[in-house]
Amino acid sequence: MNSILSKIKKPSIKRIFYIILFLLIIPISSTWLIVAQPTFTKNSPSNKTLESSRLKAHVLKLSKDFFPRNHTATKNLDECAEYILAHFKKAGADTSKQEFTVYGKRYQNVIGFFGDEAGERIVIGAHYDARMYTPGADDNASGISGLIELAYLIGKENIDTGIELVAYTLEEPPFFGSEDMGSARHAKLLHDRKVRIKCVIALEMIGYFSSAADSQLYPIPALKIFYPNKGNFIAIVGRLSQRKIVRKIKGLMKGAADLPVYSFNAPLIVPGIDFSDHRNYWHYGYDAVMITDTAYYRNREYHEPGDTAERLNYESMAKAVIQVFEAIKGLSRKE
């Protein structure tokens, strides 16, 4: 018996190493495929152009001229709403307001619509209020700036699907997560009217970029395996159940401009997945995602007085807006 056992080859250390490595690669690869959705699919380069100075002008207007933009500064919020409404009109949209009252004060969402209201539509939104006494340049004057310029791009395009642009109020605390968020009011309105929605895209902080090493953080340190350590990309964020729509938007944005595009699908226990207006559409079963520079995982002045217009990268921001525009065009095509 001993002679037989002695003839059986013991696995070498090298073989054991490869077995362990193989067993580790399987769960890591599976996680990568589910969360990051790597894809070789990409769009053709866009023939659209957007002057970065236009984006900067909007951000300066909101973050300086209309400062502060918190829920107590209703006069400034009203001026923001009128500014956005005027641009929507100039871009050729059919405009309206969704007014509502909270604690005796009147607030309003601003809506710009293109195309046929009877059919299915794509909703693009961004909030124009800011955290208490912060300038809110990135959060979220950047998103509103992108929304305004999307209106001008869409207004020059022949798109069959209805496109609804919405500038929300009351995204920030103390209303975040409540039924009084502007986006919560809007989502309920669409549901009550039985509007068919193809997709909702929330623009949440799209202006801060950095090429410095370790400028990008993540809610889970292990995510650094799958994503860059430099904050020089734009991200698409959705729930695990929204992998299909996130993958489609990612493929349409990639290649449209030379700004890197990454996506992230995760359960709601991961901090940041539902930290914007898209969350309120999930309750009604709508596909809703967030386009973001990843907020406080990159911008260290998030919800701070240092969130100023001078810190934003308007060239990269313009590329992100072009990419979103091309995604809207792609989503609007009849399949």
Residue 262 tokens read as 């990454």
Give φ, ψ of 142 to 5 degrees: -65, -45
- Give the pLDDT score at 24: 45
Burial classification of residue 219, based on how many CB atoms lie within 10 Å of its CB (0-12 exposed, 13-18 middle, 19 or more buried): middle
- Strands 105-114 and 162-168: what pairing? antiparallel
Question: Per residue in 255-300, pLDDT tens?
Answer: 999 999 999 999 999 999 999 999 999 999 999 999 999 999 999 9
Let me know if 314 is exposed, middle or buried by CB neighbors in 10 A (0-12, 13-18, 19+): buried
Which pLDDT belongs to residue 23? 46
Task: Return d(Cα 137, Cα 39) in angstroms, integer.
Answer: 32
Q: Give the C-alpha separation, 239 to 264, whole Å.
A: 8
CATH of segment(s) 40-332: 3.40.630.10
Q: At what angle are helices 142-155 and 314-332 packed, to 10 degrees? A: 50
Cα–Cα distances in Å, from 235 out to 8, 38, 129, 183, 246?
A: 54, 13, 22, 21, 10
Is 193 in contact with 119 (CB distance < 8 Å)? no
Distance CA 107, CA 72 (A): 11
3-state secondary structure of 303: coil
Within its chain, how far is the Cα of 69 from the centroid?
21
**pLDDT value of residue 33:** 64
Res 37: pLDDT:
73
Nearest to 142 by CA among 22, 256, 5, 308: 308
Q: Which tokens in the block code for residue 113? A: 């619509």
Cα 38 to Cα 30, 101, 290, 298: the distances in Å are: 11, 44, 18, 22
Rama region for 190: left / alpha / beta (φ>0; ψ in -120 to 50; rest): alpha
Question: Strand, helix or coil at 198?
Answer: strand
The confidence score (pLDDT) of residue 176 equals: 97
pTM (two decimals): 0.91
Tell me what percent of the residues of the chain surpass a pLDDT of 70.
89
Parts of the chain with a pLDDT under 50? 4-5, 18, 21-26
What's residue 237's pLDDT? 97
pLDDT at residue 20, as a whole number: 52
Half-sphere exposure (CA, 13 Å, Cβ side) for 232?
11
* Residue boundaries of the structural domains of the chain: 8-38, 40-332
